[in-house]
Amino acid sequence: RRRAVDALTRSSEEEPDADAGEKIVRSRLPETALAPVLALLTREEVDEAQVEILLGRIEGPGVADKLLQALQGDGPAMLLRLAARRLAGLGEKRAGPPLLALLGKATDPYAGQFVADALVTLDDPAVLEPLFAQLRSGTPAVRRLVINVLGRLRQPRAIGPLIAALRAGENNELGGDARQALETLTGQSFSTGDEWLRWWKENAGKPIVLPMPKKPAEEIPAEEPAEEKTEDPK
């Protein structure tokens, strides 16, 4: 099984020129590959990164339906993670409700963070109201995950609920998370919940111009070092 996964992961339509830095163009896999790949996820000996590559290459009209079934089932954590990421990458809006259900049941930061990341990738405004409900009544761990999602979704409707969360938890970790999420979402920076609320009221009815999302550090080209200047001897 390991050799089969390795061979499928490495197969490509074009062999890259390593010296030229060319990217591998991987061939598509048929939908019939989905069942054995999902079965692999119940086994401990498979490499998650490799299986994720395989899932990303499988195409077919029934792929989303089968992944949704897996996401709604009681499968192992690796299966849920990869199904969530693949469905979010496909833009499958039907994944919103099961992802929200998983977020509400999250008991540790790692288990919840992959759901939060999938919801951000999915980028579906329909998840906002359920997230607001979880922000009001969820456990502290779930509320922190919700704040993380709302800060990255780039939806102005999240500003009011985030300010309310900040004012309710001004002096604890929840308030700190809400302040950071508001800064990420709006590009503004204020010290207290009352200052945020004052700014929000002053701008009520005005279009909110959201800042451009920051590129990951690895995508930002490094500045070339300046050439050293040498002076001619006097």
Chain segment 198-227, per-residue pLDDT in tens:
999 998 777 777 777 765 444 444 444 444
Name the DSSP class of 157.
G
Query: What does each C-alpha distance from 180 to 177, 192, 195 come to in angstroms?
Result: 5, 12, 14
The pLDDT of residue 46 is 80
Distance separating alpha carbons of residues 225 and 142, to the nearest angstrom = 45
Closest by alpha carbon to 179, among 168, 194, 163?
Answer: 163
- Rounded to two decimals, the pTM is 0.81
Q: Is the pLDDT of residue 233 over 50?
A: no
Average pLDDT over residues 2-29: 67
Average pLDDT over residues 15-36: 72
Instruction: Quote the tokens at residue 184.
Output: 């990420």
Residue 153 buriedness (CB in 10 A; 0-12 / 13-18 / 19+): buried
Q: Are 140 and 181 in contact (CB under 8 A)?
A: no
Neighbours of 120 (CB within 10 A): 17
Helix ranges restricted to H, 73-212: 77-90, 96-104, 109-122, 128-137, 140-152, 159-168, 173-186, 193-202
The pLDDT of residue 10 is 76
Q: In which element (H, E) is residue 57 found?
A: helix 48-57
Higher pLDDT, 6 or 162: 162
The pLDDT of residue 228 is 47
Instruction: Quote the tokens at residue 217.
Output: 């550090």
- Distant-in-sequence, close-in-space partners of 111: CB < 8 Å, separation ≥ 6: 77
Average pLDDT over residues 176-180: 94
